[in-house]
Amino acid sequence: MTRHTTRHAAATFGRIAGRLVQLTVIALAIATTLPLHAADARPIKQRVSPTYPELAKRMRVAGTVRVSATVEPDGTVSATKTISGNHMLSGAAEDAVHKWKFVPATDSSTVEVDVSFALTQ
């Protein structure tokens, strides 16, 4: 490979990488403006606070757990699944969301909700 070919390949790679970064930024900007599933269409009627796991408390683990919940037409939660968040907090988050009540609707729906765990000072 000649020096000219190497420079040309490096320049081409640089242009492609720059374009990829631009497209990624645009995609992220669009994604952050989109609403989360049906969260606004299915308001929460009653929340139950999560029980902070004792081990997580002792280890000073805090954060937010995102939970996907299947909500039945009567507003009860029939299933939950952790989408993201600390594994030590996910069980408590799912247990709490399972006890939540949503406003009744004609059909079942799936919503994503955030459950926050904060240590008090």
Same domain, 72 and 52: yes
Q: Is 33 exposed, middle or buried (0-12, 13-18, 19+ CB in 10 A)?
A: exposed
Give the pLDDT score at 46.
Answer: 95
Read off the tokens for 36.
């989360």
Read off the tokens for 16.
């492609």
Q: Is residue 69 part of a domain?
A: yes
- Number of compact structural domains in the chain: 2
Report whether pLDDT(22) > 60.
Answer: no
Q: Any alpha helices (H) in 35-86, and if so which ranges?
A: 54-58
pTM over 0.85: no
Same domain, 26 and 53: no
Q: Is residue 17 part of a domain?
A: yes
Q: What is the CATH number of the domain that holds 112?
A: 3.30.2420.10
Mean local confidence (pLDDT), 49-61: 94
pLDDT tens by residue, 78-97 = 999 999 999 999 999 999 99
Confidence of residue 120 (pLDDT cuts 50, 70, 90): confident
Q: Is residue 27 part of a domain?
A: yes
Mean local confidence (pLDDT), 51-67: 95
Give the pLDDT score at 42.
Answer: 85
Read off the tokens for 74.
């009567």
The highest-confidence range among 6-20, 27-41, 101-115, by mean pLDDT, is: 101-115
Q: Is 74 exposed, middle or buried (0-12, 13-18, 19+ CB in 10 A)?
A: exposed
Give the pLDDT score at 1.
Answer: 58
C-alpha–C-alpha distance, residues 67 and 39, integer Å: 12
Same domain, 51 and 10: no
Q: Is residue 39 part of a domain?
A: no
C-alpha–C-alpha distance, residues 14 and 95, integer Å: 49
Which structural domain range is residue 1 located in?
Answer: 1-34
